[in-house]
Structure 1
Amino acid sequence: MENNNEIAVFAAGCFWCTEAVFQRFDGVHKVVSGYTGGHIKNPAYREVCMGVTGHAEGIEVTFDPSVVSYATLLEVFFATHDPTTLNQQANDRGTQYRSAVFYTSEMQKNQALDFINQLSDALVFENDIVTEVSPLGVFYYAGIDHHEYYNNNKSAPYCQFLIVPKIDKIKKYYSEKLKQA
């Protein structure tokens, strides 16, 4: 990886879904599932799932902004989850499944807030956007069994019902920005 890479951190419900989506974009070098935004050091998956740590399941995206812009990543983030449901994505409920952008710079913060305002002004969603925009604190990597989850478990029912439709959506709307197989 070159020195011009940046980090973006998003929480959009289950990190397995979000990881699978962002891995497919050209210019994205690495996507790691983990936890952030909470108050417990080194949280375990079980603790996060119980909702006692304050952490959200999220992903850390290492990307080359000369290939894929942060604005594009924001667009994909908002297009592939429901940013209007508080602490919930599909059947997953709890603060660990909240919609959040954890920014690493003032530029990212401003772009995220501006994008949310644009979506709201354009009435893109029927309900108000509840996505949290907060500074990134510590990002804790999830256990290795959560990394590459979709890629290693494509035939699992969870993957088929929840992740495949998201991947199909990005193939339809972002085909020119995806990595070539």
Structure 2
Amino acid sequence: MELGIFPCIGWSSSQLSNEEILKQFLKIRPSSRWLMLGFHVALSNNQLWTAWHCCERRHLRDNKLARSIDAEFIRYLAGTHHVSEAFSKAGLGDGDSKGWLVYLPESQDFLDNSATPQSNYLQIFENEYHQIIEDLNIEILADKPKLDISYAIKLGLEEENLNLKNLEDSLIAFILSSEFNS
């Protein structure tokens, strides 16, 4: 699934705890389509789009396992059907000083079991994220999602036979395993 850049941006904070950041974020976010992930979670655009597609498809069919679309997305990234486990694997950890601000685009089409994001999803993201970053008093990072074996292991992938050559395929299989086992 090659959809290009996924709407997310890295951030860091040395002043506030993750608990404080999340508490404030949940008050100010525009909708449940905005979420935060641990920095170790967003490893490639294709990984994020695969999780979005699985999540959006369940949302449009009204058969999500999680109560909200943001929790469903996190559940897929964590490769599990247990929402509480997903937050511990893919959410912000207590000692983390970095993370990802993520926007889950609305679908414009749902044909043949395939969801397509709104054509203006990046514009929506660009219009909103600056204000969120400013309101939270966190700093924007120049980082983009990048394949990293140690981050994939932290997310829950098995270390055995994992290498950079097959990492993206392994991440996508990890996501899909939660779809087929749920």
TM-score (norm 2): 0.33
- Going by fraction, where is strand more abundant, 1 or 2? 1
TM-score (norm 1): 0.33
Structure number with higher relative contact order (C-alpha < 8 Å, ≥ 6 residues apart): 2
